[in-house]
């Protein structure tokens, strides 16, 4: 019985610790590296570099949007 309780506590604590880390995303922000006119009229092709908060890895995202604000929202969703 003690082993079962210890196992349950280990699983619960792992879930509590890993859930926020998985949800972290790129809250530190993403920066625009390139902005070029798109083949779609009125839009631009962007390249963003974002830093993953949980791992510190750099994530490169390519999005097409009408303006910088829209592009930043799209880039953060990809992170």
pLDDT above 80 for 9: no
Sign of CA dihedral 54, 60, 66, 67: positive
3-class secondary-structure state, position 45 = strand
Which uninterrupted H or E stretch holds 78?
Answer: helix 68-78
Domain parsing of the chain, residue ranges: 24-78
- pLDDT tens figures, 33-51: 999 999 999 999 999 999 9
- pLDDT tens figures, 53-79: 888 899 999 999 999 999 999 998 888
The rounded distance, in Å, linking the Cα atoms of 7 and 76 is 36
Q: What is the pTM of this model?
A: 0.65
Give the pLDDT confidence score for residue 45 in this predicted structure: 98
């Amino acid at each position: 019985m003690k082993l079962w309780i210890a196992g349950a506590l280990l699983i619960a604590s792992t879930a509590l610790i890993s859930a926020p880390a998985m949800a972290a995303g790129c809250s530190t922000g993403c920066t625009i590296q390139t902005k070029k006119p798109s083949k779609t009229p009125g839009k631009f092709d962007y390249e963003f570099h974002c830093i993953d908060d949980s791992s510190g890895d750099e994530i490169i995202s390519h999005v097409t949007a009408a303006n910088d604000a829209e592009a930043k929202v799209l880039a953060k969703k990809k992170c």
